[in-house]
Structure 1
Amino acid sequence: MMQTQDKINIIRARYVASAVKKSQYPEEKLKEIAFIGRSNVGKSSLINSLTRVHNLARVSGQPGKTQTINFFELTARMIETGEDKLFHLVDLPGYGYAKTAQANRKQWAKFIEEYFLGSKQLQFVCQLIDIRHAPMKSDIEMFNWLVKNNVPVLIIATKADKISRGAVNKQIAQIRKTLGVKEIDILPYSSVKNAGRSELLEVINQMLND
C-alpha cells in the first residue's frame, strides 16, 4: 500500500476534563471524535499512538480503568497552510468487562448514552474491535445502538500487528459479516507500528475541513 503524505499533524494534545454528566463537559465547544471499545481492546495505546503523546491516555493492564468520559484538546496543524485547528478527542469507558459491578455498568451506560445523544459537537465515533477475534455480543450491541441512533461510526480493528498480513483481510471480512454490514469501512490499526495512523489522520482532516 502506498504511503500517503499526511495533510495534518497533531502538534499538541492536553487533558481538559473528566465528566459523568453534561454540566462537566468542557465549556469550549469544539468538534469531537469519541473512542469506545471493549475493555483491553487497546484504546489507550491507540490514542497515545495517534497523538504521539506518551501516556496521554493511561495504558492499564487492569480492564475497566477508564470510568469517566475524558476530554482531550488536540491541535491539528494543516501541513499545506500552517493553520492550526483544535478539536476534542473523547475517551469513553470500556464496555463488556464482566467484573464491573452491575450498578456501575448501568450508571456508565446512562452517562455514555446521554453523551452520544446529547453532544452537538460529536462528529463520529471510533468503535474499536480486536482484529484477532470476531466481534463479541457487547461489540455488536454497541454498533447496533450507534447505527439505530444515527451516530456515525468508524470501526477500527486494533492489534493488527498481532496477526499476519494475509490474515488481516480475512479478519476484516469476518468483522463485517458478524456486524451484518457489507459496505462498512474498517480500518486496521497497529499502535505498536503506528500502522493505520495516516488513514485515521486523513479521516480527521476531512472532518476538520467539512
Structure 2
Amino acid sequence: MKIFAVEFIKSCLAPEQFPSGALQEVAFVGRSNVGKSSLINSLLNRRDLAKVSRTPGKTQAVNVFQISTSDLHLSQFYLVDLPGYGFANVPKTVRNQWGPLLESYLLGRTALIRVVLLVDSRVVTDQDRQTMAWLRSIGHDPLIVVTKVDKLKTNERVRTVRQIHQSLGVADEDAVIPYSSMTGEGRDRLWGSLREAAGRRRDV
C-alpha cells in the first residue's frame, strides 16, 4: 500500500470543531509519553508530522490529519491524534479540559471505525486498564498496540505480550501488535488491521 498524501487538517479544542463529512476515522489514544507521536510518524512514513517531545503532554488538542492511500478500503480517511491521558507537564486547567474533549469525541463519532489503544511495552498502568474498560463500556473494541518493543530483549517479547493480554483482559485470539517506531516492526500488521476494520464497515 502506498501513502499518496498526508495533510494536517486542524487542531480541535471543542466538539463543534470536530471534522464533518463522510470520511472514515481512526483514532489513536494512549497515556502521556507512550510514544504516540513517534508511532504516527512511523506509520505514515513522515519525520515530524506529529510533534514528538520528551515532555509528556505535547498533544493538547484533538489533531486531525487527512490521509490518502492506494488501498481500496482506506483510500481517504482521517487519522485522529487524541491527547494523552495520565500525567502531563501542562497546567491543571488544560488537563481538566482533555477528559470532556476525549469523551465527546469517542462517544459521538459515527465515522469512527477503529480506536487504537497504545500501551508501553515496559509497563501497563491502572489508567491503561481503566481506559480499556471505559472504551469497551461505550461500545469500542480497541486494537492494542504495544510501543517501544525495541527496548525489550528478544526473550522478553512473548512474555510481555502475554502479560498485556492478561492485564487488559484481551482474549488470546485477539491481536496485540508489538510496534517499534525505530525499526518499523509492526507497521504492516497495524495497516492490515486498519484495512480490515475499514472493509468490515463498508460491508455493513
What is the CA–CA distance in structure 2 between the aligned matches of 1:72 and 1:42, rounded to whole Å? 18
Q: Secondary structure at the match of 2:70?
A: strand
Aligned to 2:138: 149
Give the letter for the 1:163 counterpart: L
Secondary structure, aligned partner of 2:103 = helix
Q: In the alignment, does 2:55 pair up with 1:62?
A: yes
Equivalents in 2 of 1:143, 1:158: separation in Å? 16
- Does the CA-based 8 Å contact 1:17-1:70 persist in structure 2? yes
Q: What TM-score results when the alignment is normalised by the length of structure 1?
A: 0.89
Using the size of structure 2 for normalisation, the TM-score is: 0.91
User: What corresponds to 1:96 in structure 2?
Assistant: 86
The Cα shift of 1:151 comes to: 1.2
Could you tell me how far apart the structure 1 residues matched to 2:44 and 2:182 are?
13
- Post-superposition CA distance 1:5-35 (Å, at most 9, x none): xxx2222111001112222112333101100
Aligned residues: 199
Report the equivalent of 1:171.
160
The DSSP-based 3-state class of the residue aligned with 1:108 is helix
Asked if 1 retains the 8 angstrom alpha-carbon contact of 2:179 and 2:186, the reply is yes
Letter in 2 for 1:149: I
* Aligned pair partner of 2:116 in 118, 126, 129: 126
1:90, 1:32 → 2: CA distance?
7
Unpaired segments ≥5 residues, structure 2: none
Q: Deviations over 1:108-161 (max 9, x none)?
A: 10010000000111111111001122x101111111100111112001000011
Show the counterpart of 2:95.
Answer: 105
> What amino acid does structure 2 have at the position aligned with 1:47?
I
Out of 37, 44, 47, the residue aligned to residue 44 of structure 1 is 37
Can you list the C-alpha shifts for 1:37-96, whole angstroms capped at 9, x where unaligned? 111111001000000011110111111011100000011113xx7x97100000000111
Preserved CA contact (<8 Å) 1:33 1:125: yes
Q: Which residue of structure 1 aligns with residue 11 of structure 2?
A: 18
Q: Does 1:136 align with 2:125?
A: yes
1:208 Cα deviation after fit: 3.1
Give the Cα–Cα distance (whole angstroms) in 1 for the partners of residues 30 and 134 of structure 2.
13
3-state secondary structure, aligned to 1:18: strand
Q: In percent, how many aligned pairs have the same letter?
A: 38
Specify whether residues 173 and 54 from structure 1 end up closer, same or farther in structure 2 by C-alpha distance, changes over 3 A only: same
Further displaced range: 67-76 or 165-174: 165-174
**Counterpart of 1:23 in 2: which secondary structure?**
helix
Q: Does 1:77 align with 2:60?
A: no
- Report the counterpart of residue 30 of structure 1 in structure 2: 23
The 3-state SS of whatever aligns with 1:96 is coil
2:85 maps to a residue whose letter is: Y
